[in-house]
């Protein structure tokens, strides 16, 4: 069985996320999503619209996702890959090169993002509509 892992906050879940998760799952037989914890989001200066439990519930409803673990630190990735016997680590290509240090443990693949959609753009639309 080929195991894949990806990481993210998945705060403003959108079509681009769904496509990214679909493509990640197609790389293997099992997809684990490491979901940023609320505390980790705060440490990254991110404020989530939804809390961890709500974001986890959204991800659990997606058929491409087989398992969800909390992401609590930047440094946990090597340990996750080793402990979960991960074959492929994948992220969006806006992170290209940032996780190549995992290449000695697994294959690292950067997937293209969906054009013209992003969580930031969605948040900006929401904020501007409130003004």
Judge whether 44 counts as a catalytic residue. yes
Give me the catalytic one of 2, 3, 22, 46: 46
**Residue 46 C-beta-side C-alpha neighbours within 13 Å:** 20
Catalytic residue among 44, 60, 77, 123: 44
With tokens 């037989």, the residue in question is: 29
Residues 109, 95: contact at Cβ < 8 Å?
A: no
Sequence-ordered list of residues with C-beta below 8 angstroms from that of 43, at least 6 positions apart, any chain = none
Active site includes 3? no
Q: Which are the catalytic amino acids?
A: 44, 46
């Amino acid at each position: 069985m080929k195991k894949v892992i990806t990481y993210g906050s998945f705060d403003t879940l959108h079509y681009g996320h769904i496509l990214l998760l679909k493509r990640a799952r197609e790389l293997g037989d099992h997809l684990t999503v490491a979901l940023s914890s609320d505390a980790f989001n705060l440490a990254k200066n991110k404020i989530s619209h939804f809390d961890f439990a709500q974001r986890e519930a959204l991800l659990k409803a997606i058929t491409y996702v087989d398992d969800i673990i909390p992401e609590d630190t930047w440094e946990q990735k090597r340990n996750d890959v080793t402990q979960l016997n991960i074959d492929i680590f994948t992220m969006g290509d806006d992170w290209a090169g940032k996780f190549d240090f995992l290449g000695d443990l697994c294959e690292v693949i950067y997937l293209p993002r969906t054009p013209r959609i992003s969580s930031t753009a969605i948040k900006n639309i929401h904020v501007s509509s409130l003004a």
